[in-house]
Amino acid sequence: MTAIIGRRFSARMPAREGTNSDAMKNPQKERGAGAAPKAPVYSRIVVKLSGESLSGPDEFGIHAETIQGIAREVKSVHDLGVEVALIVGGGNIFRGARQHGLTIDRATGDYMGMLATVLNGLAMQDALEKVGCQTRLMSAIEMHQVAEPFIRRRAARHLEKKRVVIFAGGTGNPYFSTDTAAALRAMEVKAQVILKATRVDGIYDADPEKVKTAKKIERITYLDVLQKGLSVMDSTAISLCMDNKMPIVVFNMNVPGNLKRVVVGERVGSTVTAA
């Protein structure tokens, strides 16, 4: 944020060279007052949040300041009139079959992970409502006391009424990740784009947190993502997006304002498209 500090000038002192005299006469012009805000390029979006993104600097659980920050970012986009759906992972609570030191059946582990996403969905719903967003939590696993069952037409209607919709419970089936659930829900509610929120500023040819020489890829095709084995989303999700020509934008959610920049069409992160 730029601070503008006023100075007291003598009435007899002429404006010196380099002084913005127009701005002195019209301070609103200096501040950019009256400039029309950028219009969003998307009217309906699906934002994919990993469970780990909710834990912030902690290794486990839900970090209060982080989830509150995400809620503010979503509200800034929602205030533009954009219809927003979120889908949350559960890795900050339970990693399913990948849980270290726990030998468990794959299907059972996946169901446990789906329940973890409902916990995250409830926390996200609470954070969003505290910043003034009307919110509906919909779960692929029915639990009527805490969430609505996922019904495609009802989800679309909630979005039309400008409610933020949170999809929890994954697809409701084991062996499918929340990445795949994000792709599936985006198709079902006819979203225009999937915004994949990550800790890095786009797609790289190697893990930028481990390889210092990793190069950023600003634009890539679905097929290249699959052939190069890049960790954008899992192969099932990428294939589903490719078959239905659903664009994916990968960006760093930890930078305040990035979500809004993506929505108004600024060049942020990396984009996955058909060509």
Angle at 221 between CA 217 and CA 222, to 5 degrees: 120
Nearest CA to 142 out of 168, 164, 119, 160 is that of: 168
Mean pLDDT for 218-232 is: 93
Does residue 74 contact residue 85 with C-beta atoms inside 8 Å? no
pLDDT score of 208 = 84
Task: HSE, CB side, 13 Å, CA atoms: give it for residue 73.
Answer: 24
For the whole model, what pTM was predicted?
0.83
- DSSP three-state, residue 49: strand
pLDDT score of 195 = 97
**Rounded Cα distance, 248 and 101, in Å:** 34
Top-ranked range on mean pLDDT: pick from 16-25, 94-103, 120-129:
120-129
**Rounded Cα distance, 237 and 176, in Å:** 9
pLDDT score of 8 = 37
pLDDT score of 10 = 39
pLDDT score of 7 = 37
Top-ranked range on mean pLDDT: pick from 14-23, 30-39, 251-260:
251-260
DSSP 185: H
User: Is residue 117 within a helix (H) or strand (E), and if so which, with residue range?
Assistant: helix 106-130
Q: What is the CATH number of domain 40-273?
A: 3.40.1160.10
Mean pLDDT for 175-197 is: 96
Does residue 171 contact residue 140 with C-beta atoms inside 8 Å? yes
pLDDT score of 212 = 86
pLDDT score of 21 = 45
Does residue 270 contact residue 220 with C-beta atoms inside 8 Å? yes
CB atoms within 10 A of CB 20: 11
pLDDT in tens, 80-120: 999 999 999 999 998 765 656 677 888 999 999 999 999 99
**Rounded Cα distance, 108 and 236, in Å:** 20
pLDDT score of 5 = 40
pLDDT score of 244 = 95
pLDDT score of 100 = 63
pLDDT in tens, 248-270: 999 999 899 999 999 999 999 99
